[in-house]
Amino acid sequence: MGWFSWIIFGALAGWIASLVVGDKRGCFINILVGILGAVLAGFIYQASTGRAWRFDWDWASFGVACLGAVGLLLIINLITGAGRSRR
């Protein structure tokens, strides 16, 4: 995929992840989380299965990217404490 495709793919995956987690950080963060989540999940997939993962425009790649972005958002929220209620 080209750079523009990575941005669009990351934005979509990050947006879906922010809907799942309920996070409202903004479009730029969604793009970053989506791209980094896709790369992170791809590496985890490759390490756990031993098969190379290709980042293409297909449902499997999108699912892996969304799962990676959700996981990354959960880690970010855990570190920053964004999910906790403040009284």
Using H for helix, E for strand and C for coil, what is the string for 17-66?
HHHHHCCCCCHHHHHHHHHHHHHHHHHHHHHHHCCCCCCCCCHHHHHHHH
The pLDDT assigned to 70 comes to: 92
User: Rounded to two decimals, what is the model's pTM?
Assistant: 0.78
Mean pLDDT calculated for residue range 72-79: 88
Number of domains in the chain: 1
Amino acid 49: pLDDT: 85
Range of the domain at 61: 3-80
Assigned domain for 87 exists: no
For residues 77-86, give the mean pLDDT: 71
pLDDT in tens, 18-73: 889 887 777 788 888 888 888 888 888 888 888 876 666 778 778 888 899 999 98
Asked whether residue 66 is domain-assigned, the answer is yes
